[in-house]
């Protein structure tokens, strides 16, 4: 081993180069291989695959290892590169349509595909859809969150989920590295490092390097790198708030943990009713309410001095609220976070639909969600309407399923989707005529509509729907919707 | 470097082995995050440290373009001299937008042969998980009064300053765990006078003596509103303190005033916070502070007229 090799990060040094070296995740790796095998003869139906999962569990590594194992050339484009439509087209587009010199296969790796949005990457997502549709070479995308990837891209990809690693597998990995580096290690120390990483092998290796580098022996007590997640110590603060009496101690304890006052107050709020009873609880919530007012002042006026009063009220204020001692109930993390986590998929779906409807109605996503979506949900019980809505707003299968409250694979959803597609294509023809009268703008609308299945340019039709919806809101009888729907049909594409 | 004993032990072992993972320092202001990054660079690179170390303040330039251009350009050029890699120090990394943070993650890995990152932030929860996953995270706690004292005495000896015992105590009070404040106070006081005593420190930092503030509080609490109000007038006009400073000091002092029960203290802290808010909203800080003293009287429940 030469000197320069010892100077690189262990997480890079020990990055597996072959799929067989990847720890855990057997299923996704074999799925990946299966997809890659299809490429041997000719391009398969789905020319791209998307690897998704938490950070540090081997997605990017697997992509490169695949290329290595099959002898493919790999080209990577990641979020640190600009990913506007032009940039993506230049790099990935060229690569995807030309073969390598030797006639081999070239794997295009698009890292962090869930982060292609934002102003800086305008048009990037749409260009990517186009490239995947036309590529002659395999494309692999990686993402932390599948919901962050636009539906158009998702539809074209084979999804492959990577799971977080078990502490045991990570500990094994660490042991191997220690052996390689000639470090004698304590099993307990490795396990502690592994657990601290919460399934993220990269951060475990980073931590190992942090504590073990330059040592010949690693003992449990050497493991001093901070946890990336401070749940262990927040419990100490809670104990000082709910079980002890020292007001200064409770406040000072918050300086040692890495929680913002906003998240600390959620912890206290969650546990207060389980810890205190009667008047003590009331007085505790009064203190929290005061703390919240100070937090609101921080937010509204950017007056960060208010943080200290918020902090004092949510800790010391709750300390003095107890008039007696309470037996220990277990401290729980804020259930609101859990709930938000559980419903995240549904919320993102809801927001995506609201966004589409909002775009067509020229209202904000928020307005569409609060004022239009409830009616749309009611209206889609009429099948004809559902088809027209899907065509008009460009809804995908998942979104139709969400709105109609049926399963994604249901026949009903499929047929609505297919009919909507047909109607949409017919609709383009009508739109061309409609926009014909508007000169330049019309031309652009035409190009947009032809180029992309979901034209993002707001049309005038949506306004008609918004009006329909509002009309219905006023009348609100059972019979009206059907009639209004008939009108809606004519006004959707005809205006 | 003082304070942060554990952390320093680990950091110096990086210097010994001449290798460094990406690092993330979290902690409140003035606890030595920047100082640590700079000393690592100095010790690793020696004379060439300035060419191999760059500091970017993320709160000045927080968009994705910084990552894609400025950072990347520095990261991909090779290090100067014998150095094996360069160091990019990203101060206040929690101010980077999510987009910019995402763009940073692959840059961190791709250029790891030529470049290491040190990120500093106040709260690690503001840094996205994939970045945390790429770093060894070190938490910097607030600096203890002992560490402040040690450092102040060290500087005083090196610079041959004459500082009294109560001067050191005053610096500890003023610094309140912030080493930068402590050293600034020491330096400013040294320029003012040959001998540095408590009055010099309090004067230069526009701070009331802690006893004065405690007296202010206890007078009001015991019902002597007139005396308390006169004292307040002194602080505002004679010593020229701002209402903001006074209210901040009252907040710090109220925890330690002996004869007020805890429950009352919390009531008062709530009032102090309210006063602090009203000072920024209102036109006349004196009125707000007087109203606060009146609240102390009410809380004490004794009225002497």
- What pLDDT is recorded for position B186? 92
Beta bridge partners of A217: A184
Write b or e for each residue in B247-266: b if 16 or more Cβ atoms lie within 10 A of its Cβ, otherwise e: bbbbbebbbebeebeeebbb
Say which residue, A487 or A258, is predicted with more confidence.
A258
Whether A324 and chain B come into contact, CB under 8 Å, resolves to no
Q: Is residue A13 part of a domain?
A: no
B305 domain-assigned: no
Beta bridge partners of A101: none
Q: Which pLDDT value is given to residue B305?
A: 57
Exposure of A8 by Cβ count < 10 A (0-12 exposed, 13-18 middle, 19+ buried)? middle
Average predicted confidence (pLDDT) for chain B? 86
Whats the size of chain B, residue-wise? 305
Contact call for residues A319 and A326 (beta carbons, < 8 A): no
Average pLDDT rounded to a whole number, residues A177-184? 86
Q: What is the pLDDT of residue B168?
A: 93
> Does the structure show a pLDDT above 80 at A479?
no
Closest CA to A132 of A110, A117, A105: A110
Cross-chain residue pair A115–B99, CB shorter than 8 Å: yes
Q: Dihedrals φ, ψ of B276, to 5°?
A: -55, -45
Q: What is the pLDDT of residues B2-43, one digit of tens each?
A: 556 667 777 887 888 787 888 999 887 778 888 889 988 998
Same domain, B254 and B226: yes
**How high is the pLDDT of residue A387?**
86
For A228, which of B28, B132, B270 is closest by C-beta distance? B132
With a CB-CB cutoff of 8 Å, which residues 183-202 of chain A face chain B? 200, 202
Q: Which of A177, A226, A227 is nearest to A11 (CA)?
A: A177
Q: Which of B183, B204, B225 is the C-terminal boundary of a domain?
A: B204
Structural domain of A426: 344-494
For residues A276 and A398, state if they share a domain: no
Is residue A229 very low, low, confident or very high in pLDDT (cuts 50, 70, 90)? very low
**Measured distance CA(A219)–CA(B264) in Å, rounded:** 49
Closest CA to B191 of B181, B179, B176, B201: B201
Cβ contact B138–A200 (<8 Å) = no
- The domain total for chain A is 4
Contacts of A297 in chain B (CB under 8 A): 277
**Within this chain, do residues B16 and B119 fall inside the same structural domain, yes or no?**
yes
Same domain, yes or no: B152 and B101 = no
Average pLDDT over all residues of chain A: 76
Question: Phi/psi zone of residue A292: left (φ > 0), alpha (ψ -120 to 50 degrees), beta?
Answer: alpha
The reply to whether residue A213 touches residue B13, judged by beta carbons under 8 angstroms, is yes
Q: What is the pLDDT of residue A197?
A: 79
β-strand pairing of B136-139 with B195-196: unpaired
Residues A65 and A151 in one domain: yes
Q: What is the band of A284 on the pLDDT scale with cuts at 50, 70, 90?
A: very high
Domain that holds residue B29: 2-139
Q: Which residue has the higher pLDDT, A329 or B242?
A: B242
DSSP H or E segment with residue A226: none
Question: Do B294 and B272 sit in the same domain of this protein?
Answer: yes
* pLDDT value, residue A115: 66
Specify if A1 maps to a domain.
Answer: no
Q: Are residues B179 and B214 in the same domain?
A: no
Tens of pLDDT along A289-308?
999 999 998 888 777 788 88
At A456, the pLDDT band (50, 70, 90 cuts) reads very low
**Contact across the interface for B276 and A120, Cβ inside 8 Å:** no
pLDDT tops 60 at residue A472: no
At A455 the pLDDT is: 43
What does the pLDDT average to over A132-153?
Answer: 80
Residues of A in contact with B21 (CB under 8 A): 9-11, 206, 209-210
CA angle, A302 then A307 then A310, to 5°: 130
Least confident of A59-73, A219-233, B226-240, B278-292: A219-233
* Residue B160 region by backbone torsions, left for phi larger than 0, else alpha for psi between -120 and 50, else beta: left
Q: Which spans in chain B are helix H?
A: 5-17, 33-45, 49-52, 64-65, 72-76, 98-110, 129-133, 145-158, 165-175, 179-192, 198-204, 210-221, 225-233, 243-254, 262-281, 285-300
- Please tell me the total count of domains within chain B: 3
The pLDDT value recorded for residue A492 is 40
- In the prediction, which pLDDT does A431 show? 52
- Whether residue A280 is found in the same domain as residue A374: no
pLDDT digits (tens, 9 = 90+) for B256-305: 887 889 999 999 999 999 999 999 888 899 999 999 999 999 998 887 65
Which one-letter DSSP state was computed for residue B258? T
Rounded-to-integer distance, Cα B54 and Cα B73, Å: 12
Whether residues B54 and B37 fall in one domain: yes
pLDDT, residue A451, reads 47
Whether residue A7 is contained in a domain is answered as: no
Residues 97-116 of B with CB under 8 A from A: 99, 102-107, 109-110, 112-113
Task: Report pLDDT for A477.
Answer: 44
Looking at the fold, whether A188 and A260 belong to one and the same domain comes out as no
In this structure, what CATH number is given to the domain that contains residue B198?
1.10.8.60
Does residue A422 share a domain with residue A365?
A: yes
ipTM of the complex: 0.71
Q: Using CB atoms and an 8 Å cut-off, which of residues 263-282 of chain B contact chain A?
A: 263, 265-266, 269-270, 272-273, 276-277, 280
Question: CA B279 to CA B182: how far, in whole Å?
Answer: 27
Residue A228 inside a domain? The answer is: no
Q: Report DSSP letters for A91-123, one per residue.
A: IIIHHHHS--TTS--EEEEE--GGG--SGGGTT
Is B218 in the same domain as B188?
no
């Amino acid at each position: 081993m030469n000197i320069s090799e010892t100077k690189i990060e262990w997480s890079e040094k020990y990055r597996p180069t072959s799929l067989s070296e990847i720890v855990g995740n057997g299923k996704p790796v074999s799925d990946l291989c299966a997809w890659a095998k299809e490429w041997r003869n000719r391009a398969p139906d789905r020319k791209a695959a998307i690897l998704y999962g938490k950070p540090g569990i081997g997605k990017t590594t697997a992509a490169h290892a695949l290329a290595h194992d099959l002898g493919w050339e790999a080209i990577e484009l990641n979020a640190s590169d600009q990913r506007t439509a032009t940039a993506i087209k230049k790099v990935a587009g060229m690569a995807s349509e030309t073969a390598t010199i030797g006639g081999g296969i070239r794997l295009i790796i698009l890292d962090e595909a869930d982060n292609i949005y934002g102003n800086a990457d305008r048009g990037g997502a749409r260009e990517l859809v186009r490239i995947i549709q036309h590529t002659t070479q395999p494309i692999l995308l990686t993402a932390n969150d599948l919901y962050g990837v636009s539906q158009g891209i998702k539809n074209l990809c084979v999804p492959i989920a990577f799971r977080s690693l078990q502490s045991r597998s990570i500990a094994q990995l660490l042991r191997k590295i220690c052996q390689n580096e000639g470090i004698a290690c304590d099993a307990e120390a490795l396990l502690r490092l592994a657990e601290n990483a919460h399934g993220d092998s990269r951060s475990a290796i980073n931590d190992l390097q942090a504590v073990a580098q330059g040592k010949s022996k690693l003992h449990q007590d050497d493991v001093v790198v901070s946890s990336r997640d401070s749940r262990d110590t927040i419990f100490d603060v809670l104990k000082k708030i709910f079980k002890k009496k020292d007001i200064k101690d409770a406040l000072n304890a918050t300086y040692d943990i890495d929680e913002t006052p906003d998240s600390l107050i959620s912890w206290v709020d969650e546990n207060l009713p389980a810890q205190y009873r009667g008047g003590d609880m009331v007085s505790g919530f009064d203190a929290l309410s005061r703390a919240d007012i100070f937090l609101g002042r921080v937010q509204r006026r950017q007056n960060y001095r208010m943080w200290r009063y918020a902090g004092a009220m949510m800790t010391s204020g709750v300390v003095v609220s107890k008039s007696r001692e309470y037996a220990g109930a277990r401290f729980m993390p804020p259930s609101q976070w859990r709930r938000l986590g559980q419903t995240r998929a549904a919320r993102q779906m809801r927001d995506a639909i609201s966004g589409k409807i909002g775009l067509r109605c020229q209202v904000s996503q928020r307005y569409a969600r609060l004022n239009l979506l409830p009616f749309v949900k009611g209206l889609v019980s009429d099948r004809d309407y559902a088809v027209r809505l899907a065509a008009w707003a460009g809804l995908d299968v998942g979104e139709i399923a969400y709105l109609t409250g049926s399963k994604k694979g249901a026949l009903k959803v499929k047929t609505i989707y297919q009919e909507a597609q047909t109607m949409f294509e017919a609709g383009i023809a009508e739109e061309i005529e409609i926009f014909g009268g508007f000169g330049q703008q019309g031309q652009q609308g035409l190009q947009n509509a032809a180029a992309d299945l979901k034209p993002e340019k707001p049309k005038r039709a949506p306004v008609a729907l918004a009006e329909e919806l509002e009309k219905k809101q006023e009348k609100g009888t059972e019979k009206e919707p059907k009639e209004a729907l008939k009108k809606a049909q004519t006004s959707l594409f005809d205006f | 470097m003082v304070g942060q004993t554990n952390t320093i032990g680990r950091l110096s072992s990086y210097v010994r082995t001449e290798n460094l993972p990406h690092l993330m320092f979290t902690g409140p202001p003035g606890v030595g995050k920047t100082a640590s990054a700079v000393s690592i660079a100095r010790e690793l690179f020696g004379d060439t440290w300035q060419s191999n170390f760059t500091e970017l303040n993320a709160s000045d330039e927080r968009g994705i373009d910084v990552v894609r251009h400025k950072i990347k350009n520095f990261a991909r050029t090779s290090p100067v001299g014998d150095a094996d890699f360069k160091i990019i120090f990203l101060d206040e990394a929690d101010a980077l937008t999510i987009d910019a943070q995402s763009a940073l993650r692959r840059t961190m890995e791709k250029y790891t042969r030529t470049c290491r990152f040190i990120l500093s932030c106040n709260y690690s929860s503001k840094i996205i998980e994939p970045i945390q996953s790429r770093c060894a995270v070190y938490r910097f706690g607030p600096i203890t009064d002992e560490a402040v004292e040690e450092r102040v005495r060290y500087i005083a000896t090196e610079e041959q300053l004459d500082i009294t015992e109560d001067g050191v105590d005053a610096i500890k009070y003023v610094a309140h765990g912030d080493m930068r404040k402590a050293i600034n106070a020491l330096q400013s006081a040294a320029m003012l006078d040959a001998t540095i005593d408590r009055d010099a420190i309090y004067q230069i930092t526009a701070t009331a003596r802690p006893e004065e503030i405690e007296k202010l509080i206890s007078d009001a609490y015991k019902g002597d509103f007139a005396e308390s109000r006169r004292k307040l007038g002194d602080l505002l006009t004679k010593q020229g303190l701002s209402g903001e400073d006074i209210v901040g000091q009252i907040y710090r002092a109220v925890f330690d005033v002996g004869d007020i029960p805890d429950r009352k203290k919390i009531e008062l802290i709530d009032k102090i916070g309210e006063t602090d808010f009203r000072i920024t909203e209102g036109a006349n800080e004196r009125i707000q502070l007087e109203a606060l003293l009146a609240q102390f009287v009410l809380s004490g429940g004794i009225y002497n007229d």
